[in-house]
Amino acid sequence: MSRPGVVVLDYGSGNVRSAVRALEHVGADVQLTAETDAALQADGLVVPGVGAFAACMAGLRAVSGAQLVGRRLAGARPVLGICVGMQVLFEAGVEHGVRTAGLGEWPGTVERLHADVLPHMGWSVVHPPEGSRLFAGVEGERFYFVHSYAARRWEMADSSQLAPPLVSWAEHGERFVAAVENGVLAATQFHPEKSSSAGLTLLENWVGMLR
């Protein structure tokens, strides 16, 4: 059986080599590129992200990231966002009083967490809903987070025509969205590539959906 082809979108978001290595480890052929045809034709596209929401959006705009994600989703082609790569899928992010438009795939705003200690840096339990394919075999496991901002609410209304997204939660000072499975669009606030065996299992689950 051939290995699924995955593109990790290279838009200047920081060190993504660990994500490339982890995806290769679980059975994907991986390219780190922002080349349009490669990103559109790959079996799966990973949108990483570290640092500030506004900086990640600027980087995505420079490589037509919104169009790439939109065209893939329109064609039912899987996309996985990681950390700020998840945050930018929401309508907007607010950092230091500045509101920046996101990709708008989901309603809601990414905001600073209400917690005594920030950033949230370390391992936290993630609670997925029943029926999660992404978390199969790692339900209730700990994953590695590094962030100060998150979607603190899930604001998408359920549709009578479509299966509702599966939303996973974690807590640091307050509850926040830790992962979403929404058809071919999935995302994690944590770093699966830095989450030891549980993270590798989650990535293996996602790569398995690409076959």
Q: Among residues 56, 83, 141, 172, which one is catalytic? A: 83
Active-site residue 191, yes or no?
yes
Helix (H) or strand (E) holding 154: none
pLDDT value of residue 160: 55
Q: State the pLDDT confidence band at 13, using cuts at 50, 70 and 90.
A: confident
∠ Cα 95 73 187 (to 5°)? 45
The whole-number average pLDDT for the span 47-62 is: 96
Q: The pTM is what? A: 0.96
Choose, from 111, 141, 181, 193, the residue flagged as catalytic.
193
* 52 pLDDT tier (thresholds 50, 70, 90): very high
What's the Rg (C-alpha) of the chain?
16
pLDDT band at residue 45, thresholds of 50, 70 and 90? very high
Q: What gap in Å lies between CA 106 and CA 1, rounded to an integer?
A: 35
Retrieve residue 58's tokens: 């600027």
Distance CA 147, CA 84 (A): 9
- Band of residue 60 on the pLDDT scale cut at 50, 70, 90: very high
Instruction: Determine the average pLDDT of the residues in 53-76.
Output: 97
CA distance 120 to 116: 10
Lowest-pLDDT choice from 73-87, 92-106, 152-166: 152-166
Residue 50 CA to residue 108 CA, distance in Å, equals 20
Taking each helix axis as running N to C, give the angle between helix 65-74 and helix 53-62, from 0 to 180 degrees, rounded to the nearest 10: 80
- Amino acid (one-letter) located at 39: A
112 DSSP β-pair partners: 149
pLDDT at 163 > cutoff 90: no
Q: Answer yes or no: 193 catalytic.
A: yes
Q: Residues 120, 147, 172, 191: which is the catalytic one?
A: 191
Q: Can you tell me the mean pLDDT for 188-197?
A: 98
**Tokens representing 133?**
């394919």
Per-residue pLDDT band at 211 (split at 50, 70, 90): confident
Residue 131: pLDDT band (50, 70, 90) is: very high
**Which of 3.30.565.10, 3.40.50.880, 3.40.50.150, 3.40.50.970 would CATH assign to domain 5-208?**
3.40.50.880
